[in-house]
């Protein structure tokens, strides 16, 4: 299985901050990488597909980059509604696997 390692596992930030979350795959996955946002008691919401594609309706302050094994999710100017847990997921190879999550908390 491809292991997806996210860092950090949690971070504290303030409204207006720029936040960066990284995701590393244990082997090359090309650009088959997605990012999801999950709020408590809610289903995950797709933010980014194919490493850098912005899902329809997602604010442009979210962006993704990377290819191969190293990926980044950036949130520019963090907003109150962005405090949540973020997961990366590879969909290059079965079984599909998720990172362990990064919880973005209010400082």
- Size of residue set near other proteins by CB under 8 A: 24
| Minimum distance, C-beta of residue 96 to other proteins, in the bound complex (Å) | 4
Is 23 an interacting residue with respect to other proteins (CB under 8 A)?
no
Is 87 an interacting residue with respect to other proteins (CB under 8 A)?
yes
Task: Please identify which residue in 43, 60, 80, 81 interacts with other proteins, judged by CB under 8 A.
Answer: 43
The structure tokens listed for 96 are: 């599909």
Is 97 an interacting residue with respect to other proteins (CB under 8 A)?
yes
Task: Please identify which residue in 2, 52, 74, 100 interacts with other proteins, judged by CB under 8 A.
Answer: 100
Neighbours of 11 (CB within 10 A): 16
Strands (E), 1-107: 4-7, 10-13, 19-25, 33-38, 45-49, 53-54, 62-67, 70-75, 85-90, 97-98, 102-106
Distance, in Å, from the CA atom of 26 to the CA atom of 23, rounded to the nearest integer, reads: 10
In 3D space, the residue among 33, 41, 27, 16 whose CA is nearest the CA of residue 71 turns out to be: 33
Is 95 an interacting residue with respect to other proteins (CB under 8 A)?
yes
| Minimum distance, C-beta of residue 52 to other proteins, in the bound complex (Å) | 11
Which stretches of the chain bind other proteins, using CB under 8 A? 1, 32, 34, 36, 42-46, 49-50, 53, 55, 87, 89, 91, 94-101
């Amino acid at each position: 299985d491809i292991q997806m390692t996210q860092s950090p596992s949690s971070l504290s930030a303030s409204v207006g901050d720029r936040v960066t979350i990284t995701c590393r795959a244990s082997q090359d996955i090309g650009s088959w990488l997605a990012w999801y946002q999950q709020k408590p008691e809610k289903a995950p919401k797709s933010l980014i597909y194919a490493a850098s594609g912005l899902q329809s309706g997602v604010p442009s302050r979210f962006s993704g980059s990377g290819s191969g094994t190293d990926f980044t999710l950036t949130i520019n100017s963090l907003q109150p509604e962005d405090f949540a847990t973020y997961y990366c997921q590879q969909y290059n190879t079965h079984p599909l696997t998720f990172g362990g999550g990064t919880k973005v908390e209010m400082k």
